[in-house]
Amino acid sequence: MVKRTALMAGAMLAALASAGVAQEPTSPPPAEAQWTEFQSPERGFTIAFPSTPQTTSAAVTGMNPLIRYSFQASQGGEKAYTVVVLEYPEGKAPAAEDSLYLKMISAYAKDSQSKVRKRGPATIADRPGFEAITDDGKGKLNHLVDILPAGNRIYMLISAGPRGHATSDDALRFRNSFRLSGSEAPASPPTPSP
């Protein structure tokens, strides 16, 4: 499922240029995963993964010099967690607008053969972003997708798992553990909400 998630992220890039099937787990769920902090100072973020992520990078065909970096980890073979970093040349990142978010979410849903159940603005790492929940047509696979623009990068946090996963403690732990570092981090702590 981890490789499938990476392919879905690749399909979203194709949508930007123009503006494996998940299986039921066959073994009992594993013991509680030991989440550990993963840091990528080069890509400007920190996040907690349930296992050591595999990392890949590739130039995006037709959009050079756009580079896609993927950090993927699985949990018990039934859940996948991915951070995709789309890195643009300085000053070339697309405007962070609803139309961009909608294109990216639509491309993700199409490629994952899922339907968008919920979408809208969200606060991620104390910054404005966008969040969506998608479900496959069989009601067996559930996705939480978050998009956060920051400087010359767009971060995508993708968590997929069995029914109800998008609102599970694990999916929320993954999303809420994401922090920007370096020049992308907020200059001062956020003001608490009333």
For the chain, the domains span 2-20+35-94+102-156+168-182
Distance CA 171, CA 86 (A): 21
Query: Using DSSP, how many helices (H) and how many strands (E) does the chain show?
Result: 3, 10
**Fold designation for 2-20+35-94+102-156+168-182:** Protein Transport Mog1p; Chain A (3.40.1000)
The whole-number pLDDT of residue 187 equals 47
Residue identified by tokens 């590739």 is 58
Residue 13: the pLDDT is 43
Q: Are 114 and 143 in contact (CB under 8 A)?
A: yes
What's the longest Cα–Cα distance across the chain?
A: 48
- Let me know: does 35 contact 46? Beta carbons within 8 Å: no
Contact residues for 31 (Cβ-Cβ < 8 A; gap 6+): none
Q: What is the pLDDT of residue 152?
A: 94
Structure tokens, 98: 């609803």
- According to the model, what pLDDT value does residue 191 have? 42
Supply the pTM of this predicted model. Answer: 0.79
Structure token digits, residue 97: 């607008």
SS3 111: helix
Q: What is the pLDDT along the chain (194 residues), one digit of tens a residue?
A: 444 444 445 444 444 443 333 334 444 444 556 899 999 999 999 999 999 999 999 998 877 688 999 999 998 878 999 999 999 998 888 888 889 999 999 999 998 889 999 999 999 999 999 999 999 877 688 999 999 999 999 999 999 999 999 999 999 999 999 999 976 665 444 444 43
Query: Would you tell me how many other CB atoms lie within 10 Å of the CB of residue 116?
Result: 17
Which is nearest to 151 in space by CA: 88, 105, 60, 63? 88
Residue in this structure with the two tokens 């902090």, named with its chain if needed: 37
Q: List CB contacts of 22: < 8 A, sequence separation 6 or more.
A: 1, 4, 136, 140, 141, 160
pLDDT at 15: 40
State the pLDDT at residue 19.
35
- Which tokens sit at 155? 């971060």
pLDDT of residue 184: 63
**pLDDT for residue 138:** 77
pLDDT value at residue 32: 59
Position 53 scores a pLDDT of: 96
Percentage of residues of the chain with pLDDT beyond 90: 59
